[in-house]
Structure 1
Amino acid sequence: MKIINQKINQSFSFLALFFGVSSMIAQSNIKIVHKPEEPLKEKINNQNSLNFDFIIENNSKDTLQLTRLEVLLFDKNNVLIQQKFLDNNGTAPSINTIPNRQWNGAAKSLVFNPFPEVNTSVYKLEYTFTFNDNIEVKNTVIPTDYEQVKDFMLPLKSKLLVYDGHDLNSHHRRFDYEFTPIHQLGFTSNFMRYAYDLVVLNSENKKFSNKGEKNEEWFGFGNDVLAVTDGEIVALETNQKDDKQFNIPALKDNPLVLYGNYVVIKHSKNVYSMYGHLKNQSSAAFKIGDKIKAGQKIGSIGVSGSSFFPHLHFEIRNSITHEAEGIPSYFNNFDLILGSAKKTIKKGAINTGDIIQSK
């Protein structure tokens, strides 16, 4: 009996060793990095938001399936604050909120961080990715507090709808620079990570008259676009038609082609404001190198470039290259309109769906 038990124990030990070694080999074939390397803490109300991506690379011939993702959140003293996870449990598994979870052999793809809202005390986040139910790979993220150096005013004076911001579901947030056609154009990061699409509303909170089929039926078409603070124009285009068209191959040489007509203003080192989809010839009075003052008109709302309807695309970024990363932005002195009530904001963030007006 002792001999049989001994053989059974030896068999279990061998299997444990075998699967342990196999798991280690599998782990070594999986590379996970996050971008940007130091994600920025965006301040929204009484919480911080973390807007970053994971790039997951399978360097083996095996098929990998992400079956669980867990994050542990720690304070500066390495004390656990919170724990969150997505897994395969339940009739509608939460892991399904990550659409691309399978790597068929050697492949690389992007996963958007699915846990953006964090407590203000968070210092470090430890992520554990589980593949095929038994292969674990960890990634540690230490974000950086973001402080805006200059005060910004809103770039439009009218009543505005934040049609699309950069929350988890926004198209600005979900720019996949690892998607092959995008990557082949030279993009290596998300320049519009903290962007806004701003649409002018009338007194009845409508965006357009009639059916909005003509540019002129949109209340914002032709409205003045203002510089959010002092700076110098470093990039400019004003000759594109208001026809919702742009030259996709040209993005390889100039990533700003996406915006049709645009003005980019440099405010300080690695801080640029971008005003996109401007009206044809509305910035014709300016040239690169011009000094601009806060509140100065720099163009008008148009529908040039990659635009479905007249609106202003606004973003803060750290450069004008294919490697540009987005930066958060906070605005001074505006009203947040809440139906028949309103709340005055001295300085704060704006979000998708907000109705706001500069004071």
Structure 2
Amino acid sequence: MKLIASLLALGLWAGGSQAALAQARILPERPYLEPTAAGASANFDVLITNDKAWPVEVSEVTVTTLDTGGAAVLERRIDGNGFAPAIETIANRVLAPGETRLFFNPFPELPGDVAASAMRVRVTLERVTKEGETAPAGEVPTVVEAKAVFASAPAWTRKLVLPVEGRVLVWDGHDLLSHHRRFDTQHPFLKQMGIGANAMRYSYDLAPVDAEGRMAAGDAARNESYLGFGRPVRAPADGVVVAALDSRPDDKSFDPGDLKEAPNALFGNYVVIRHADGLFSILGHIRQASLKVKVGDPVKAGQPVAAIGASGSSLFPHLHYQLMTGPSMRDEGAPSGFAGLTRVRGAVRTPVVNGAIDSGDVVEGR
């Protein structure tokens, strides 16, 4: 997707906001502990506010994992120790007086043998001084803490149908460095648009590929060169269509200002399906005039509902899929997993037992 690029072009992607809130807070308040191929993943953000009258800098972040009895079983940290300090991997660490800034959990992946019930994050803030200035004698760094108790991922979401049949590349998923994950909900523009949650927290960009792993053959500037363009899009689970649009052209563009009135506008054309447990699927960037369903229609898992296109904030023809707690980009994301998948790594083919896929995976669904 090109939302971040669009904000950069408008000079709006600066990060942070001015506010006077609690010093440390985890978002969402009850994050999911997502099952993955390597173990569990704690996908959440940490909101830090500088309540001082001077600028401060994040100098250390410690993440402690708690077991079901509340005991600490794993602790990891990023600090300023050494000639190439790890804390420098965290961007925009200086907060102005009164500023609130969002930081992503730097240690989301947990070992498979850790049964976690909660995480505690401790952030150390040190005064930033001007050249020639010194901090007051005896002043110690400020330490702020936040704790989150995990919500269990809905069990049925491990049984979804992959919305695209055949061999598919997860061009971008929701690993720590993916653009879906690195969505700054505190950005002034997003707040102005009324978007305060990350609905893309567990999303996927799915692109059909051939046996050589190629997404396109021929002129990559033409939608028709992509193997996925026009490929059927399927409902991932039973449900009811609650929103649908296919009037936008497949021109890989959208107006960011439309998000205020239409928070799903970045997807161009889309289908939103409400499932029985109250979660919602959105299938985005679908092809113009390809809808096979309308609002109010019931759908079954695997039923064709549209076709892959390049509408909205799309770099190339592909399908964007995500599960959410509500019907729009103003809601939070929820984890999803898929049944009947085979992971393809060269000549090695392996069943995806727990349904977990992410960035870089090539899978085949039926």
TM-score normalised according to structure 1 size: 0.89
Cα offset for 1:266? 0.5
Please name the residue that 2:13 is paired with.
none
| Aligned equivalent of 2:91, options 87, 99, 102 | 99
Per-residue deviation, residues 179-238 of structure 1 (Å, max 9, x unmatched): 111111100110110000001101221111124111000111000000111110001111
C-alpha separation in 2, matches of 1:181 and 1:34: 21
Aligned length: 331
Per-residue deviation, residues 98-140 of structure 1 (Å, max 9, x unmatched): 1021111121111011110124412222221111172111111
C-alpha separation in 2, matches of 1:321 and 1:264: 8
Secondary structure (helix, strand or coil) at the match of 2:275 reads strand
Secondary structure (helix, strand or coil) at the match of 1:249 reads helix
Q: Given that residues 207 and 219 in structure 1 are in contact (C-alpha distance below 8 angstroms), is that contact kept between their aligned partners in structure 2?
A: yes
Structure 2: gaps of 5 or more residues = 1-19, 127-139
C-alpha separation in 2, matches of 1:256 and 1:46: 32
Counterpart residue identity of residue 296, structure 2: G
Please name the residue that 2:156 is paired with.
149
Please name the residue that 1:248 is paired with.
256
Secondary structure (helix, strand or coil) at the match of 2:259 reads helix
| Aligned equivalent of 2:244, options 236, 250, 261 | 236
- State whether structure 2 residue 297 is matched by structure 1 residue 290: yes
**Higher relative contact order structure (alpha carbons within 8 Å, sequence separation ≥ 6):** 2
Please name the residue that 2:109 is paired with.
117
C-alpha separation in 2, matches of 1:184 and 1:33: 21
- State whether structure 2 residue 227 is matched by structure 1 residue 219: yes
The structure with the larger Rg is 1
Q: Given that residues 63 and 76 in structure 2 are in contact (C-alpha distance below 8 angstroms), is that contact kept between their aligned partners in structure 1?
A: yes
C-alpha separation in 1, matches of 2:281 and 2:91: 32
Change (3 A) 1:321 1:147: closer
Q: Given that residues 29 and 60 in structure 1 are in contact (C-alpha distance below 8 angstroms), is that contact kept between their aligned partners in structure 2?
A: no
Between 347-356 and 315-324, report the one with greater CA deviation. Answer: 315-324
Counterpart residue identity of residue 312, structure 2: G
Structure 1: gaps of 5 or more residues = 1-27
C-alpha separation in 1, matches of 2:275 and 2:225: 34
Sequence identity percentage: 35
C-alpha separation in 2, matches of 1:138 and 1:145: 23
Please name the residue that 1:40 is paired with.
32
Q: Given that residues 243 and 305 in structure 1 are in contact (C-alpha distance below 8 angstroms), is that contact kept between their aligned partners in structure 2?
A: yes
C-alpha separation in 1, matches of 2:329 and 2:179: 18
Counterpart residue identity of residue 311, structure 2: S
C-alpha separation in 2, matches of 1:245 and 1:71: 39
Please name the residue that 2:4 is paired with.
none
Cα offset for 1:72? 2.1
Q: Given that residues 247 and 288 in structure 2 are in contact (C-alpha distance below 8 angstroms), is that contact kept between their aligned partners in structure 1?
A: yes
Cα offset for 1:79? 2.8
Please name the residue that 2:265 is paired with.
257
Please name the residue that 1:348 is paired with.
355
C-alpha separation in 2, matches of 1:130 and 1:266: 42
Per-residue deviation, residues 37-87 of structure 1 (Å, max 9, x unmatched): 011000013511011111111233211111011122221223331110000
Secondary structure (helix, strand or coil) at the match of 1:258 reads helix
Please name the residue that 1:204 is paired with.
212
Q: Given that residues 273 and 317 in structure 1 are in contact (C-alpha distance below 8 angstroms), is that contact kept between their aligned partners in structure 2?
A: yes
C-alpha separation in 2, matches of 1:307 and 1:270: 28
Q: Given that residues 169 and 207 in structure 2 are in contact (C-alpha distance below 8 angstroms), is that contact kept between their aligned partners in structure 1?
A: yes
Between 73-82 and 103-112, report the one with greater CA deviation. Answer: 73-82
Change (3 A) 1:316 1:322: closer
Q: Given that residues 167 and 365 in structure 2 are in contact (C-alpha distance below 8 angstroms), is that contact kept between their aligned partners in structure 1?
A: yes
| Aligned equivalent of 1:181, options 179, 189, 194 | 189
Q: Given that residues 263 and 329 in structure 2 are in contact (C-alpha distance below 8 angstroms), is that contact kept between their aligned partners in structure 1?
A: yes
Please name the residue that 2:59 is paired with.
67
C-alpha separation in 2, matches of 1:235 and 1:29: 35
Q: Given that residues 30 and 58 in structure 1 are in contact (C-alpha distance below 8 angstroms), is that contact kept between their aligned partners in structure 2?
A: no
C-alpha separation in 1, matches of 2:90 and 2:255: 31
Secondary structure (helix, strand or coil) at the match of 1:118 reads coil
Cα offset for 1:291? 0.8
C-alpha separation in 2, matches of 1:134 and 1:29: 19
